[in-house]
Amino acid sequence: MIEKTTDLDTCRDIRREVFILEQNVSEDEEWDGRDDEALHLLARDAQNRAIGTARILIEGKTGKIGRVAVRKSARGTGVGAALIRAALEELRTLPGITRAKLGAQTHAIGFYEKLGFVAYGPEYDDAGIPHRDMVLDLE
């Protein structure tokens, strides 16, 4: 089950586990001060345990999907794809939003391509991890 949430503590717990503890992203980079302006999604398993999160920021006509994190115990179950699909559904309900964008860790580009995203531009470093921008037209 995926829902919009205001439970930022739970979302941040998942992000801390995945990004800060597993991937060694610094706290300064992870906590960028934009959580209060974002829409947050939270995925729960059948036992109602929080297992994944994503956030959406609106930048002009673009919905930027980011901070997509799934707990290790839930990876490979389709939760990540479900989070992205839920984010896209949410963006499609917002007037004037014509595209979705995200910064994909390069090892995950194939995952996002299967969901319809197209990579563009050069590879870049984000928090010590190689990324590429990806976009999906919502019209």
Structural domains of the chain, with CATH: 2-137 (3.40.630.30)
Distance, first Cα to last Cα, the chain? 26
pTM given for the model: 0.93
Task: For residue 138, give the nearest of 105, 108, 94, 104 by alpha carbon.
Answer: 94
- The answer to whether 92 and 130 have CB atoms below 8 angstroms apart is no
Q: Tell me, what amino acid is at 139?
A: E
In the predicted model, what is the mean pLDDT of the chain? 95
Q: Give the model confidence (pLDDT) of 76-126 as tens digits.
A: 999 999 999 999 999 999 999 999 999 999 999 999 999 999 999 999 998
Mean pLDDT of 22-29: 92
Share of the chain above pLDDT 70, in %: 100
